[in-house]
Amino acid sequence: MVGDELDDRPGKVPLTARLMLHDSLTARRAAGIIAAFTVGITVAGGFLERFLDHAEYPTIGRGLWFALQTVTTVGYGDVTPRDSVGRFIAAVVMLSGIGFLAVITASVTASLVESSRRRFTAQSEADDSRQLNEISERLARIEAALEQPGQGRSPDGAR
């Protein structure tokens, strides 16, 4: 009995999934999520560089400086990882920075396209409404002309 009751309950959804799926995903929310993810990866990369490569990164500040240079793809060259682990961390930080730029670009493009679509739809609806009003007025004039006696008929009564 107790086992059957547990099987009927839905599975537990992780907190991050619930937060992300609570509202519909918009371009702005996606950009915010990716920005937070990028900042997290950058800070984690800086700390990991410091703790995994003490010789090259003697301070946390130097590790964070490296991560900031890497995520922005500036790469001054004053601090570079020599170990494979450091290079792997650098690759992850670089990819998150490139992904961030791609998502921000897509987000801006999506909002511009949506704005343009809304303007076009509003203008199109106004044009359609105007044309329907003109057609209705014209039809009313035609019906009024047909209802008047003697209009539209020849003298012998034929059309």
| Predicted model pTM | 0.57
Q: Is 117 left (phi over 0), alpha (psi -120 to 50) or beta?
A: alpha
Q: How many structural domains are present in the chain?
A: 1
pLDDT given at position 43 = 94
DSSP readout, the chain? Answer: -HHHHHHHSPPPPPHHHHHHHHS---HHHHHHHHHHHHHHHHHHHHHHHHHH-TTT--SHHHHHHHHHHHHTT---SSS---SHHHHHHHHHHHHHHHHHHHHHHHHHHHHHHHHHHHHHHHHHHHHHHHHHHHHHHHHHHHHHHHHSTTTT--TTS--
pLDDT given at position 1 = 47
pLDDT in tens, 101-125: 888 888 888 888 888 888 888 777 7
- Domain of 53? 14-109
In-domain check, residue 91: yes
In-domain check, residue 46: yes
CB atoms within 10 A of CB 110: 15
pLDDT in tens, 7-59: 555 567 676 666 666 666 776 777 788 889 899 999 999 999 899 888 888 89
In-domain check, residue 83: yes
- What's the chain's Rg over C-alpha atoms? 33
Average predicted confidence (pLDDT) for the chain:
80
In-domain check, residue 28: yes
